[in-house]
Copies of this chain bind each other. A is one copy, B any other.
Amino acid sequence: MEKLYSDIVVIGGGPGGAICSVTAKLSHPEKEVMNIREFENQMVPCAIPYTFSDILGSVEKNLISCAMADKIGMKTLVGRVEKVDLESKTIHLADKEVSFDKLVFATGSKTFVHPSLQHALKLKGVFSVPKNVQYIKEMIEYVKEKKRVVVVGTGFIGIEMAIELCRSGKEVTVVGSKEYILANSFDDEIAAQAHQEMLNAGVKYIAHDRVVDVTDNSGDGVVDMVKLKSGESIETEVVVLATGYKANTELAQGLGLSFGHYGGIMVDEYMKSSNPDVFAIGDCAMKRGFISKSESKTMLASTASAEGRVAGMNIYGIQNLKNFSGTIAIFSTMVAEVAFSSAGITEAAAKASNAAVVSAVFEGSNRHPETMPDAQKQVVKLVAMQNTGQIIGGQIIGGKETGEMINMIGIMIENKMSIYDAMTMQVSTQPHLTAAPPSYPVVMCASMVAAKLKSMMKS
């Protein structure tokens, strides 16, 4: 039994764990930092769908290197952690023990499949979408020879999987309970457009229904049918269960830590758990929404990375005061050739939590003049508080610039900017890159919200 020591140990090699280790070492060069990861190679989680089509074409093209680790003097240990003991401050692997001063859980999330469908995962041809290199490799091989696919789940991963499988020549059907896909992430008028792009790309959608069983009718252990609540059934060769993820906290159980209702390890704004020597970041850590500070289900690699940085910088005391509190859900997806992004809270979610909000939608172009060769429709929706005009949410449809434009809206939310601030903000415009100066969509949309508020004050 080899015995090792490191001042800081981070368990987990995903984006959050990697950046946390690097940040901890750069912020505390005098400390030893060790990252313990189960696999030598990790995948870029959000690019998994693209390994199924010609965009990446293989798992090998989707691996993250840990080249930086050696360069900065951080240690990496590949191995499976079996047990954590907080009293002796020791981590147990099969053939090693690692003692530590500070510990960070970055153990991520595992696929969630409803108990009523878990038996289906035993059938050949039924898959979930875990962040596991070997699993995804075998899945790609299996799917290659098949034609008909059913995807269960209408979130980002489900829809991106459906579109890439369709792009690679499969007949793909998505089953969902709502009218439109991505219904939890976008308001209806935006989700409807994402929905239409998916249909245009050739993916079929069965709305207002639910998968109640996945079976091998012939009894040969190979999936051949999906049964729906409506009584309908779909013949298929492959089923993808993209029904979400849940915090992976097995190692953190029984250590006296507190957990949130959704299963994440409870942490403060600096990612410190109820034990001052234990931190948690990313999908395995509990999050709080930035408005009500109530628990949020957000699970994003970008959120994990931000949390990893915060933990890494402040693990030996607060060095870097956080000026923004809580988690902004901020994300982007491509549906075929159109990008859809969201930051903050949707109008529907705001109203459901009883917030008095006002919103507007502006439709323009992402180039100017609109005759520029690759001009594309650009739609911006802003959601603001009625009393103050403070911006609490934004949604964008457009070209590939959308991914950075939503980051601008994220910064506006973090800085508590109001629509009035947005109306006078200074932006850059260029024919090849943006909308026209007089009709820059974020500004135009803010003006529309202001006009609505003005008319509400009069009435």
Contact = CB atoms under 8 A, between A and B. Distances in A.
Interface in A277-329: 300-306, 308-310, 313, 320-324, 327-328
Given A423-B309, A428-B343, A438-B15, A447 B23 contact: yes
B451 A26 contact: yes
Contacts of A44: 368-369, 431, 436
Contacts of A373: 55
Contacts of A321: 420
Interface in A344-382: 368-369, 371-373
Contact of A401 (B50, B324, B403, B410): B403
A424 B18 contact: no
A328 B406 CA distance: 21
A414 B426 contact: yes
Interface in A402-432: 402-408, 410-412, 414-415, 417, 420-421, 423-432
A402 B400 CA distance: 10
Nearest to A333: B430
Interface string A425-459: 11111111110111010010001000100000000
A190 interface: no
A163 B72 CA distance: 42
Contacts of A47: 368-369, 372, 431
A334 interface: yes
A128 interface: no
Contacts of A369: 44, 47, 56, 61-64
Number of copies: 2
A341 interface: yes
A305 B440 contact: yes
Nearest to A43: B369
Contacts of A437: 15, 19, 300-302, 304-305
A371 B403 contact: no
Interface string A48-60: 0010000110000
A339 interface: yes
Nearest to A20: B438
Contacts of A306: 424-427
A62 B373 CA distance: 12
Contacts of A427: 302, 306, 330, 407, 410
Nearest to A327: B426
Interface string A22-52: 1100100000000000000000101100100
Contact of A428 (B368, B406, B412, B436): B406
B434 A332 contact: yes
Contacts of A424: 306, 309-310, 313, 320, 322-324
Contact of A421 (B63, B305, B323, B408): B323
Which has the most chain B C-beta neighbours within 10 Å: A44, A63, A403, A440? A403
Interface of A: 15-16, 18-19, 22-23, 26, 44, 46-47, 50, 55-56, 61-64, 300-306, 308-310, 313, 320-324, 327-328, 330-334, 339, 341, 343, 368-369, 371-373, 399-408, 410-412, 414-415, 417, 420-421, 423-434, 436-438, 440, 443, 447, 451
Given A313-B423, A408-B411, 4 more contacts: A50-B431, A300-B437, A404-B434, A407-B408
7 contacts: A44-B368, A44-B431, A47-B368, A50-B372, A62-B371, A308-B438, A324-B426
